[in-house]
Amino acid sequence: MASKEYLSTAQAAKALRISRIAVYKKIKRGEIEAVRIGRNFAIPVEYVKSRIKSVKGKMLTEEEKKKIEAAVDQAIKDYGEVLRKLGNE
């Protein structure tokens, strides 16, 4: 019987370019399929590969673009002075 390959949450986070905590939250919400092994989770390699492929060629919707723009505006509003000072160093 062929063994199925799995990734740890840390490996999946690195492959998906999100934090480990984000992986745990997505597992809890059912957005990432995972197998519980003791106190840890294992994520199938094929699942991660399929998620990477689906994200790479995805175009952003206008709503997603607006959300990103709002987040950037908020970050500039909150941290603009600090960002300017860091840019001058």
User: Helix 9-16 and helix 45-56: axis angle, to 10°?
Assistant: 20
Nearest to 46 by CA among 56, 34, 57: 34
CB atoms within 10 A of CB 19: 13
pLDDT of residue 87: 81
Q: Please tell me the pTM assigned to this model.
A: 0.56
pLDDT at residue 57 is higher than 60: no
CA atoms within a 13 Å half-sphere pointing along the CA-CB vector of 4: 11
| Cα separation values, 25 from 9, 30, 40, Å | 11, 9, 14
What is the rounded average pLDDT of the residues 36-65?
81
The pLDDT of residue 36: 92
